[in-house]
Structure 1
Amino acid sequence: MSETNNNNNSNSMMLEVNNIFNSFMNEMEEEFQLRQNIKNSTTVIDQTERKMNLIVQMAHTQNINNSKELYKQIVELATSLKPTFNELKALIKPFNYYKYRDHWKRHLTQIVFCLAFSYWLECKQLLKIEVIQNHLGFESTATKGSITVELEDYLLGLCDVTNEMSRYCVNCVIRQDFETPLLISTFVNDLYAGFRLLNLKNDILRKRFDSMKYDIKKLEEVVYDLSVRKLIPTQQQKQQ
């Protein structure tokens, strides 16, 4: 009788263990499928972001007047991502948002960069975060755990803009466009002043902000050289 009870207990324990591990297996399969679906969506975002970066690179070989259409092209690409981000919203529950956010965080930063840089070429102004969110189909008053352009994404994207501006400035001089470098220098200095108002404790943001000093130095050297050579148009020349 005792042996029968022991066998029953052993079978019961084995069944319980099997049930537990079967539930683990189901959870792991669901997690794997979810990650695959997220990967499929982020692959679309990655491909679109690469196209945006390719358009941005075209600006370096064009006159600034011909670069104004670039913003329109990049906005069209950004808008095309709305269904993809909606798919991600449907896949990811709010409490899992930060678990998977790294899958698309870098892409959002690059999208912010492409939009902000091309917008400056057209309007000579800073593109606001609310406009970027609108292009991508995000709510400006998104609740916690919702996919959106977070402040960190926006600021990191702007840091990339200053770096690209320093390169664009040099290419403007090569094309004998001596007026745009002065506009770029003013814009980047204003941007840097804005960053200095922030109490940056984030390690990544702090490092990227510090690197802006080198971009400003490079721009100042270009503007100084143009000034010494008297290649910057005077106010009187502009009026003529």
Structure 2
Amino acid sequence: MSSGSPSRLLDPAIFPDLKDKIEQETQVKDALTQIVQKLEATNSYAQGLLSRIHATPANIVNPGLLAEVELEVKKEIEIIKELSDYASQHPYYKYNQKWSWTMNHVLFTVILCGFLGGMATETKPGEFGRLLTPDDISEILQVPVNVKDRDVFHITIEEYLTALTMLCDELSRLATNSVTLKDFDQAVQIQSFVKELFGGFLLLNLKNDPLRKRVDGVKYAVKKTEEIVYDLTVRKLVAPPGDASSSGEMVG
């Protein structure tokens, strides 16, 4: 065989075919990136609105603030539909890393808004709403959860749990700022909730290493809020746990 003749061991069509496949995958990734960037921008604005809770006592949180956040969530729902329609045309687990981080933050935004009394959760002035479930999230965002029988865009249980760990971090920060605002009752409510949520995490047998590490980190949020409530109790700014006379007003 002369050096100039093609090898019988190599099909000359292999690399042009691979080149076409790589270009197709690049086009898919670029399209997903553009949609996800729109979603990130909208969600960042919503989170910026929610950050105002750190400077506002719970009993005077403006319902208009939550309404503004809900308006941004509606915009996110439209973008998520666009993302779902496009992503569902391609293998889920081949591309889901393109949007998973962003969806963690979207879920966190929705869960925090609901916990503060938005997203149609029932609440009273000065009290929190409730923790939205995966089914609640699915209904709000109009996206299925934990789909196993078909290859479509969906919210994973891991994304929901990651959002809950983010909620714990945010609430532990809110507990500190609540004390600064002399909203002691809110700090006590946060401590109780974070501790209860961590107890729920302990029931899970997590195999996902990054998620397990995030859940392990929740213990620091628990410790931080416990220290805050302990200090308030020692200073007689709140009644001891279990005391029905617990109050956010200074005693004595």
Q: What is the TM-score of this pair, normalised by structure 1?
A: 0.84
Q: 1:129 — aligned with what?
A: 134
Matching of residues 153-168 of structure 1 within 5 Å: 153-168=159-174
Residue 93 of structure 1: how far off its partner (Å): 4.5
Q: Which residue of 1 aligns with 2:120?
A: none
Any idea what SS the aligned residue of 2:99 has?
A: helix
Larger radius of gyration: 1
Question: Which string of whole-angstrom CA distances, capped at 9 and with x for unpartnered residues, describes residues 99-148 of structure 1?
Answer: 11011101111112122222222242211112222222213574442212
Deviation at residue 165 of structure 1 after TM alignment = 0.8
Separation (CA, whole Å) in 1 of partners of 2:146 and 2:96: 18
User: Is 1:103 matched with 2:109?
Assistant: no
Letter in 1 for 2:169: N
Q: Which residue of 2 aligns with 1:216?
A: 222
2:47 is aligned with 1:41: no
1:41 shift after superposition: 0.5
Q: What is the alpha-carbon distance in structure 2 between the residues aligned to residue 188 and residue 69 of structure 1?
A: 26
The number of residues matched between the two structures is: 230
Aligned CA RMSD, in angstroms, stands at 2.7
Partner of 2:226, secondary structure, is helix
Q: Which runs of 5+ in 2 are unaligned?
A: 118-122, 248-252
* Match in the other structure for 1:195: 201
Structure 1 gap segments, 5+ residues each: 1-5
Q: Larger relative contact order (C-alpha < 8 A, sep ≥ 6)? A: 1
Residue 150 of structure 1 pairs with residue 150 of structure 2: no
Shift of 1:12: 11
1:27-49 Cα offsets, whole Å, 9 max, x none, are: 22222211111111111111112
Larger helix proportion of the pair: 1
- C-alpha distance in 1 between matches for 2:7 and 2:88: 36
State the shift of 1:89 in Å: 2.9
